Structure 1
Amino acid sequence: MSDAASSTADGQPALDPQNTVYLDVKGGRVVIRLRPDLAPLHVERVKLLCHEHFYDGTPFHRVIDGFMAQGGDPTGTGGGGSKYPDLKAEFTNSAHFLRGTVGAARTQAPNTANSQFFICFAPAPFLDGQYTIWGQVVSGMEFVDGLKKGAGSSGSVSNPDKIIKMRLMAEENS
């Protein structure tokens, strides 16, 4: 098994099975490299929720073309979360919201992230230092691009696309 410091044939760092998430949606598989260097508390929460199959079947309830796709709320309303307490913000000025960046969704209060997350369709520098970054899509962004768009008056997509399965690479077959 290769370690995280080794490289693939194209020069990219090899994926660490303990810090890589497979996010399966109707179009295909999205691969997310976790960033414990930026947000160790959020990464541990995502790993726990993946292990518990929490995300399976949850909707992408808010998908705004040109901005981001938000999911991870079991209620599909934008107001739900896991049974665990909210997380302390892990903001950084060293990382930026780019296409494929995965951030922790929260209310207006900084320390309210729980289970919800969003994936940016395009750079969003206005989010830098304001939201916790916990991952980066390394492949399958075209499947995120293909999610049903919408954010109606309720802030939710009508009949939204759902996460089929979300697992750590190390636990893929569980």
Structure 2
Amino acid sequence: MKASFALALSAALLAASAPTIAADSPATPSAVVAQAPATAWRAIPADDLLVMRVEGGRRVVIQLAPGLSPGHVGNIVKLAKAHWWDGTSINRVQDNYVVQWGDATEKKPMPPGLSPTSPDDYALPLATRRLAVTPLPYPDPYAPSTGFVDGWPVAMDGSAAWLPHCYGYVGVGRNMSPDAGTGAELYAVIGQAPRQLDRNIAVVGRVIEGMEILSSLPRGTGELGFYTATEHKVPILTVRLASALPKAQQPRFEMMDTQSASFADYLRLRANRKDDFYDRPAGGVDLCNAPVPVRRAP
């Protein structure tokens, strides 16, 4: 292993593969989330929230991951501050795959100061970093190891860590390699997790509110689900960082601390649920099937 990891491995997580559930523990993952104490939650900074208003004033909130995708997220922040997405549109909806948005003309000038990107930005090098990792102790077909860092699921190979393509996760559209996209063209996964895209495209965040808006849009009939000239591209009214909105309009969210005892219990039950509905515990859970709980701040 080239990288050094500080592993946050609680006793509860060590027992994650055990099919038994303590009698005094909540019987379901949702019960763990509902009963988690305030100390098990961390506020999501307003600077990390991207608020997109689409046709009809409907709101989609995206949590950005600057710690795991710094280059592309830095560009996205600059684009939001420049109001670049205002007046653009959702241009592609491919069934069981992605919703994509940006400038349909591909001619809108970019704001100054965007940083160059490359395929090297798809993963975070670990040679000079120590990550506090809550490991997921189950095999993964796409990475030697997986776990959670600062509230995010990550896949790892010993030298790098990267965000996976899970349902609701947001990536950066690009042309053929070595182009890596600027961050202006974004998409959200609306189908089965396309993990084969991991480390082939930059993942920059996740939708934490309004996913039902994106996933229920009419599918495009053009190639790859792009809307044709006669189909309705969904207008994007505004995209702002939450921190740029008036205080009264700023959405406030919290995510579960992935090093907390509550999260360890949650993971155990996601892998080994045995309650009134489930007869057979699965004995495992994949990275995308253990979404980190996010809630509106009390």
- For normalisation by structure 1, the TM-score amounts to 0.82
Counterparts of residues 73-112 of structure 1 (less than 5 Å): 73=103, 76-77=104-105, 79-80=106-107, 82-83=109-110, 84=114, 87-89=117-119, 90-92=121-123, 93=155, 94-112=162-180
**Going by fraction, where is strand more abundant, 1 or 2?**
2
Partner-residue secondary structure (3-state), 1:13: strand
Matched, 1:21 2:50: yes
Q: Deviations over 1:54-112 (max 9, x none)?
A: 10121111110110011122xx15x4565257522321253210111000100111334
Q: Which position in structure 1 is the counterpart of 2:237?
A: 164
Q: Which amino acid aligns with 1:117?
A: L
Larger Rg: 2
Alignment of structure 1 residues 67-78 onto 2, 5 Å: 67-73=97-103, 76-77=104-105
What amino acid is aligned across from residue 121 of structure 1 in structure 2? I
**Which residue of the partner structure matches residue 264 of structure 2?**
none
Conserved? CA contact 2:180–2:201, under 8 Å: no
Gaps of 5+ in 1: 1-6
Is the 8 Å Cα contact of residues 62 and 151 (structure 1) preserved in structure 2?
Answer: no
Of all paired residues, the percent bearing the same amino acid is: 27
| Paired residues for 1:21-170 under 5 Å | 21-26=50-55, 28-73=58-103, 76-77=104-105, 79-80=106-107, 82-83=109-110, 84=114, 87-89=117-119, 90-92=121-123, 93=155, 94-114=162-182, 115-122=184-191, 123-153=193-223, 156-157=226-227, 158-170=231-243
Greater Cα shift, 121-130 or 9-18? 9-18
Letter aligned with residue 120 of structure 1: V
* 1:139-166 Cα deviation digits (max 9, x unpaired): 2101111333205159631221121211
One-letter identity of the residue aligned with 2:201: Y
Structure 1 residues 82 and 98: CA distance shift in structure 2, 3 A: farther
The aligned length equals 165
CA gap 1:144/1:8 in 2 versus in 1, 3 angstroms: farther
Unaligned runs of 5+ in 2: 1-35, 124-154, 156-161, 247-298
Q: Distance in 1 between matches of 2:101 and 2:221?
A: 12
- Whether the 8 Å CA contact 1:24–1:164 is kept in 2: the answer is yes
TM-score (normalised: structure 2) = 0.50
Amino acid of the residue matched to residue 194 of structure 2?
A
More helix by share: 2
Residue aligned with 1:170, SS:
helix
